[in-house]
């Protein structure tokens, strides 16, 4: 196990800046997810950590060792890719053992290490099969087994679950989490799937346009994002953003969405809203932080109204899309709730404790 430090790390391809001046500390044994949209620089960052790309600027440290210009082999890392990259002419045992044979590991030790990895990943009964005889999830387990037997100081995962269907992705997330809990090795995991990042990581690094937007625990980023980008990227369905204006009235400050939707600013937002009177802002509110129907009557939270545009029953939840001041607002509701029909106008309440205020121009989330 080892800590990883990126210091002023940058990568340029001609005039294109893929990664821009990243500083990042990853603790010994920590599971860190690099997450962001396609082209944000997360895979390029991982490739530099792996030694597959040379940085344009900055340095990479494993513990107290500067590994910036060392080869992948010298870094003692193991990498699991989106592609399983298994040898089709070798059975599972030989695929897992391949790296050990390259290192001239004694035959008895190879059998021991392969057996341990196979037991850990639940593939002991597959050792004599060939890749073409395996499902996608089984192939990915074999690829993970090949990484485990290397006994690396750092595990690197590059979107390893992208080729799997939804059920297998959920199953493999559990397997990867169990693997980390057993091995306690430092893991750096790249994904565009924020659900993977939220469920797997101790710490999430949100990237966009080659820059680190925010670093923190999953719930820190979910509840206290620094920007509209982070707030909107984490969460499924994503956060609602409702354009509004802060106005001063005889009763106090109010949020004005339209003539039908205006309400007093909640006490916890008064201080920050006082600096934005007369300015365009946005309210950020997650779908699960909106109460609708009879549940709304039990709360003394701001109430607004909207027209039902779409109803999406999913079994465990029903998602209701409302039009509020020309903006679509998605609400997560219990399936037994009755909403009428498309076109009906209904009232709902916003959880005042979960509302965010966003500066429209800078797209910063505003806190006291």
Last residue of a domain, one of 226, 257, 284: 226
Domain count, the chain: 2
Residues 203 and 320 reside in one and the same domain: no
Q: How many helices (H) and strands (E) does the chain have?
A: 10, 21
**What's the rounded Cα separation, in Å, for the pair 66 and 44?**
19
Phi and psi for 156 in degrees, rounded to 5? -120, 125
The CATH number covering residue 167 comes to 3.40.50.300
Task: From residue 138, give the alpha-carbon distance in Å to each of 70, 79, 162, 279.
Answer: 33, 17, 14, 55
Last residue of a domain, one of 163, 197, 226: 226
Residues 220 and 244 reside in one and the same domain: no
Residues 212 and 247 reside in one and the same domain: no
Residues 57 and 135 reside in one and the same domain: yes
Q: Which two tokens stand for residue 101?
A: 């044979």
Q: Give the contacts of 61 (CB within 8 A, at least 6 positions apart).
A: 4, 5, 7, 67, 68
Assigned domain for 232 exists: no
Is 351 in contact with 285 (CB distance < 8 Å)?
yes
CB under 8 A, 24+ apart: contacts of 10-16: 10/55, 10/56, 10/57, 10/58, 11/41, 11/44, 11/45, 11/48, 11/53, 11/55, 11/56, 12/56
Q: Is the peptide bond before 55 cis (omega within 30 degrees of 0)?
A: no
Residues 116 and 15 reside in one and the same domain: yes
**What's the rounded Cα separation, in Å, for the pair 110 and 120?**
15
Assigned domain for 130 exists: yes
pLDDT at 151: 87
pLDDT at 296: 56
Assigned domain for 349 exists: yes
The CATH number covering residue 304 comes to 2.40.50.140
Last residue of a domain, one of 179, 198, 226: 226
- Least Cα distance to 319 among 215, 246, 238 occurs for 238
Assigned domain for 231 exists: no
Residues 124 and 269 reside in one and the same domain: no
pLDDT at 298: 58
pLDDT at 295: 57
Assigned domain for 285 exists: yes
Residues 181 and 291 reside in one and the same domain: no
Residues 184 and 35 reside in one and the same domain: yes
Beta carbons within 10 angstroms of residue 338's beta carbon: 8
Residues 248 and 200 reside in one and the same domain: no
Q: Where are the alpha helices (DSSP H) in 184-311?
A: 194-200, 218-223, 228-233, 270-273
Residues 222 and 299 reside in one and the same domain: no
Q: Strand, helix or coil at 78?
A: strand
Assigned domain for 83 exists: yes
pLDDT at 351: 92
Assigned domain for 166 exists: yes
pLDDT at 256: 95
Residues 89 and 220 reside in one and the same domain: yes
Query: Mean pLDDT per 10-residue run, the chain (368 residues)?
Result: 94 94 96 94 96 96 95 91 87 93 90 91 92 90 90 92 83 88 93 92 96 96 96 93 95 93 92 92 95 64 91 89 94 82 89 94 92
Strands 290-292 and 31-35, bridge-based pairing: unpaired
Residues 168 and 85 reside in one and the same domain: yes
Q: Which domain holds residue 90?
A: 4-226
pLDDT at 89: 94
Q: Which two tokens stand for residue 228?
A: 């509209």
Assigned domain for 67 exists: yes
**What's the rounded Cα separation, in Å, for the pair 339 and 341?**
6
Q: What pairs with residue 24 in β-bridges? A: 6
Q: Where are the alpha helices (DSSP H) in 59-164?
A: 72-75, 92-102, 107-121, 136-148
Q: What is the pTM of this model?
A: 0.90
Q: Strand, helix or coil at 235?
A: coil
DSSP 157-192: EESTTTTS-HHHHHHHHHHHHHHHHHH--EEEEEES
- Least Cα distance to 121 among 159, 76, 176 occurs for 176
């Amino acid at each position: 196990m080892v800590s990883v430090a990126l210091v002023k790390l940058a990568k340029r391809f001609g005039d294109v800046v893929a990664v821009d001046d990243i500083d990042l500390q990853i603790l010994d044994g920590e599971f860190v997810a690099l997450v962001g949209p396609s082209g944000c620089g997360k895979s390029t960052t991982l490739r530099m950590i792996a030694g597959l790309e040379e940085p344009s600027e900055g340095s990479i440290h494993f513990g107290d060792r500067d590994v910036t210009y060392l080869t992948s082999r010298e870094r003692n890392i193991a990498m699991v890719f989106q592609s399983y990259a298994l040898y089709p002419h070798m059975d599972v045992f030989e695929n897992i053992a391949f790296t050990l044979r390259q290192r001239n590991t004694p035959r008895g030790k190879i059998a021991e290490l392969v057996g341990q990895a196979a037991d850990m990943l639940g593939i002991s009964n597959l050792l004599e099969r060939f890749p073409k005889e395996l499902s996608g999830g089984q192939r990915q387990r074999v690829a993970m087994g090949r990484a485990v037997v290397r006994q690396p100081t750092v595990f690197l995962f590059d979107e390893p679950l992208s080729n799997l269907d939804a059920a297998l992705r959920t199953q493999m997330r559990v397997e990867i989490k169990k693997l980390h809990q057993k091995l306690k090795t430092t893991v750096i995991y790249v994904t565009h799937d924020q659900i993977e990042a939220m469920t797997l990581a101790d710490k999430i690094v949100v990237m966009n346009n080659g820059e680190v937007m925010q670093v923190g625990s999953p719930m820190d980023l979910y509840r206290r994002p620094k920007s509209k980008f982070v707030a909107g990227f984490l969460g499924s369905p994503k956060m609602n953003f409702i354009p509004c204006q802060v106005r001063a009235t005889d009763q106090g400050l109010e949020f004005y969405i339209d003539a039908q939707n205006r309400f007093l600013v909640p006490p916890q937002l008064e201080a920050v809203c006082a600096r934005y009177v007369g300015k365009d802002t946005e309210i950020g509110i997650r779908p699960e932080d909106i109460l609708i129907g009879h549940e709304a009557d039990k709360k003394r939270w701001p109430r607004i109204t909207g027209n039902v545009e779409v109803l999406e029953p999913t079994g465990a939840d029903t998602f209701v899309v409302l039009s509020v001041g020309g903006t679509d607002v998605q609400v997560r509701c219990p399936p037994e709730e009755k909403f009428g029909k498309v076109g009906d106008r209904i009232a709902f309440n916003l959880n005042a404790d979960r509302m965010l205020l966003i500066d429209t121009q800078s797209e910063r989330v505003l806190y006291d």
